[in-house]
Structure 1
Amino acid sequence: MTVIQVAAGLIHREGRYLIARRRPGVHLGGFWEFPGGKREPGETLEECLQRELFEELNVRIDIPIPYQIVRHAYPEKIVELHFFHCTIETGEASPIECTELRWVFPEELSQFRFPPADEVILDALRRDAGGSLP
Structure 2
Amino acid sequence: MRPLPHVRVVPTCKVALAVVERRKRYLICRRRADAHFGGYWEFPGGKKEARESWEACLRRELREELGVSVRALRGFGRLQHRYPDRRISFRIYRCQIARGRPKPLGTADIRWATAEELPRYRFPPADLALIARLTEAGSLPRRRRHAILTRQRRNRS
Deviations 1:71-120 (A, max 9, x none): 11111211111111111000000000111100011010011001101111
Q: Which runs of 5+ in 1 are unaligned?
A: none
TM-score using structure 1 length: 0.95
Which protein shows a greater Rg?
Answer: 2
State the distance in 1 between where 2:63 and 2:80 align: 25
Q: Residues 131 and 93 from structure 1, CA distance in 2 versus in 1: closer, same or farther, beyond 3 angstroms?
A: farther
State how many pairs are aligned.
134
Q: Find the counterpart in structure 2 of residue 15 from structure 1.
A: 24
Deviations 1:24-71 (A, max 9, x none): 121111110001000011111111000100000000000311112111
Q: Cα RMSD (Å) of the superposition?
A: 1.4
Q: Which runs of 5+ in 2 are unaligned?
A: 1-9, 147-157
Deviant stretches of 4+, over 6 Å: none
Larger RCO, structure (CA 8 Å, separation 6 or more): 1
Deviation at 1:131, TM superposition (A): 4.3
- Asked if 1 retains the 8 angstrom alpha-carbon contact of 2:16 and 2:54, the reply is yes
SS at match of 2:72: coil
Of all paired residues, the percent bearing the same amino acid is 38
